[in-house]
Structure 1
Amino acid sequence: MNESVDIDGPEPINEEKLSELVETSLVDLGATVHAALAVIGDELGLYETLDDEGPLTSSELAEKTETVERYVREWLRSQAAGGYVTYDAETDRYYLTPEQAHILANEESPVFMPGAFQLVGSVAKIGPELQEAFRTGEGIGWHEHDEDVFHGTERFFGPSYGAFLLDWIGALDGVDARLKSGGRIVDVGCGHGAPTIRIAEAYPNSTVVGIDYHKESIEVARERAETAGVADRVRFEVATAREYTGSDYDLVTMFNCYHDMGDPVGVAAHVRETLSENGAWMIVEPYADDRVENNLTPFGRLGYAISTLACTPNSLSQDVGYGLGAQACEDRTREVVTGGGFTRFRRAAETPTSLVFEAKL
């Protein structure tokens, strides 16, 4: 039986539920601090060294990473307490299990997480501006964020694009064959160009254009293309989603950015004008159910939280300020896409964290 007591209020407090909420708060407090320490572990090569050379004592890890043992010792204990590092009490050594390494040390893994920690730690730096925006309703543009937000976004999403992108394109109606023979592709909201470059690598007979309104991201994307050896068939341009140039594209892609746009209906109308007759628009969005109560999950919390910090403020900073939000769901996405003139819209693929939509004329 649950007991309750009065605590300075007319309604009784359920002690068991109160205790559960306090425990949840403690977990969240630890996670908040842990995010900053995970970024340190990533940037100083602590995870990578543990994976390559562990098990190690704190002194051995400090020596190999040219860091100070006393800091490393405390860091290791915090990581072990959080389950990110494994501790062997008999030898006083620390190591990564294969699963821990897959998440923390393998940058090609589709579940690589340090980029996500880098992203969320940096995006929260706009706290004072966001508080003011809550009062005024003004927006905060993507370009106003700390530089680490852009790099964290690339490192967070890039590996999953590498793992799933070709399957997603393969789920579209006839697009894969068209691109293999030579097609025209535009990746809208390309950021640092991770999916754009992956598409260029997979379809060497096609031409690819990546566009983003953020000039600094486009400059990085051009460097990435040179490094990847695909600069001869992928071009990056500064443009908005409502104004990019070109026509008769066989494929228009948008990866986790459509919900950030101020005028998604106007963007849909522009995409419609630039598609070829049999072209397809692929929209990748964070996984979300049409019912809010079904999104009250750990992933849903992450989605709503990042949407509050970055996605919705970015949309509200632009013309129209639709504020679609990162947990937009299939029904709302269909509504704005068909509002822009598309007549066919379907869910083509999905993962536990992504929804992949296909829109056609």
Structure 2
Amino acid sequence: MDKERIGEFANAVYRDMAGAMAIGMGYLGLKSGLFEAMKDGTPVSSGKLAEKTGLQPRYVEEWLNGMTAAGWLEHDEETGAFSMPDEHGFLLASEGTDHYMGGLFLAGPSLLSHASDVARAFREGGGVHFDAFDEDWIKALDLMNGGAYKSRLASYWMKQLPDIEERLASGGRALDIGCGVGKVSLALAEAYPEARITGFDPDGNSVSQARSAAADAGADRVEFVEGVITDIAAEPVFDFAGMFDCLHDLAEPEATLAEIRSRMAPGGALMVMEPRASDRLADNFNPLGTVYYGFSLFHCMTQSLAQGGPGLGTCMGPDKTMSLLRGAGFSNVSELPIKSQINIFFTARA
């Protein structure tokens, strides 16, 4: 065996373990409010930070040491103070923006808590149902996508469909498929106040949060349904439907898409957002691909298989996505020219 190659791989394993520990410490920084407390970039001692946050000094000290070792924070040896660079705070302490990365810190521990359940599914089949995941996972999904929905959906993504924008502005109807906690529906309601919007999701907890958010926003033209597409009335039909980061999760993707199409108005459009993964495996050999395959194993694929679904997986790729859309009878299926490092967008006409 090549000893140099052994050493290189050992270093890679330690690197990846370090990444897992960094995400765990990121979880602690988010949950404890430490990132928020350091976002102004002012150098601070561990004692002063513990005093400022009301946290236990020894835990704060070790967290600061660990986050600095990971390269997330900086340390001044002369003064002993720690600080968060502005460029890091841009990603670590910017909840609600389209560049916030905090959702990943909730996602990692939540997903890995089911490692033994997924390992069992390797032997026995089936998978882990969505409702087995904790509140942190629902919050993680919101944090990972919610800022982009708020800042980009109406101002950028919908601009690719000007005729649909006109319909919604004039009181058209929109369907939010797999609505989660309702961020897409509420972004559409804010942008198109005359439109009527229906969101649905099989997860009761998410729908309950969506209803509360709509009530708080005074969005009386938005309704949320706990269920699946067949729980949505066949009439009236919808001018726009959105599937954001959920097609690959479905237990019955072909049947669901066919049902969606049957509820679309003539000339209506479906927009699909999927994780940016390539059809060619070798093109996914990168950090984002690794994250997505992990998400697939620990959530997306396994919860589909748990329902007897096909387990399409997070990285099913554009060819499979467009094949599913065409198979459901949609016409003019194409990729939309939306720039994103992490997602890819498609449109299909009824």
Aligned to 1:313: 302
TM-score in terms of structure 1 length: 0.92
Which string of whole-angstrom CA distances, capped at 9 and with x for unpartnered residues, describes residues 274-325 of structure 1? 0000110111100011211101111011011100111111111225x12211
Q: Is 1:303 equivalent to 2:284 in the alignment? A: no
Q: Give yes or no for the alignment of 1:32 onto 2:20.
A: yes
Which residue number corresponds to residue 85 of structure 1?
73
Distance 1:98 1:52, change over 3 A: closer
SS of equivalent to 1:182: coil
Q: How far does residue 22 in structure 1 lie from its aligned partner after superposition?
A: 1.1
Quick check: 1:74 aligned with 2:62?
yes
Contact map agreement 1:103 1:109 (CA 8 A) in 2:
no
Q: Is the 1:289–1:295 contact (alpha carbons within 8 Å) kept by the matching residues of 2? A: yes
* C-alpha displacement of 1:97: 1.4
Counterpart Cα distance in 2 of 1:105 and 1:330: 33
Shift of 1:164: 2.2
Name the structure 2 match of 1:355: 344
CA offset at residue 89 of structure 1? 2.1
In the alignment, the residues of structure 2 paired with residue 194 and residue 84 of structure 1 have an alpha-carbon distance, to the nearest angstrom, of 29
1:19 maps to 2:34? no
- Which of 207, 231, 238 aligns to 1:218? It is 207
Contact kept, 8 Å, 2:117 with 2:127, in 1: the verdict is no
Name which of 310, 325, 335 aligns with 2:323. Answer: 335
1:200 equivalent among 189, 200, 205: 189
Task: Give the C-alpha shift of residue 173 in structure 1.
Answer: 5.3
**Residue 146 of structure 1: CA displacement?**
1.6
Deviates more, 1:193-202 or 1:254-263: 193-202
Determine if the alignment matches structure 1 residue 190 to structure 2 residue 182.
Answer: no
Match of 2:268 among 272, 279, 288: 279
Q: 1:155 to 1:254 in 2, by over 3 A?
A: same
Give the letter for the 1:347 counterpart. Answer: E
Residue 229 of structure 1 aligns with an amino acid whose one-letter code is G
* DSSP-derived class of the 1:174 partner: helix
| RMSD, aligned CA | 1.5
Normalized against structure 2, the TM-score is what? 0.95
1:23-71 alpha-carbon deviations (Å, 9 max, x no partner)? 1111111121222221111111111111147211101100000012221
1:257 and 2:261 are equivalent in the alignment: no
CA drift of 1:242 comes to: 4.6
The gaps in structure 2 that reach 5 residues or longer are none
SS of the residue corresponding to residue 240 of structure 2 reads strand
Matched, 1:133 2:121: yes
What is the alpha-carbon distance in structure 2 between the residues aligned to residue 60 and residue 216 of structure 1? 39
Runs ≥4 in structure 1, deviation > 3 angstroms? none
For 1:335 and 1:131, the matched residues in 2 are separated by 31
Number of residue pairs matched by the alignment: 347
Alignment-mate amino acid for residue 66 of structure 2? S
**1:17 & 1:175 partners in 2: Cα distance?**
55
- Structure 1: give runs of 5+ residues left out of the alignment: 1-12
Q: Return the match for 1:155 from 140, 143, 165.
A: 143
> Is this contact kept in 2: 1:242–1:270, CA < 8 A?
yes
Residues 192-250 of structure 1, C-alpha deviation per residue, up to 9 Å, x if partnerless? 112221111111111111100011110011111222332x1211111113543344201
Name the aligned partner's letter for residue 224 of structure 2. Answer: F
- 1:248, 1:127 → 2: CA distance? 42
The 1:155–1:324 alpha-carbon spacing in structure 2 relative to 1, beyond 3 Å, is same
1:103 aligns with 2:91: yes
Q: Tell me the CA shift for residue 168 of structure 1.
A: 1.2
Aligned 8 A contact 1:243 1:270 in 2: no
Greater CA drift, 243-252 or 112-121: 243-252
1-structure distance, mates of 2:158, 2:121 = 38
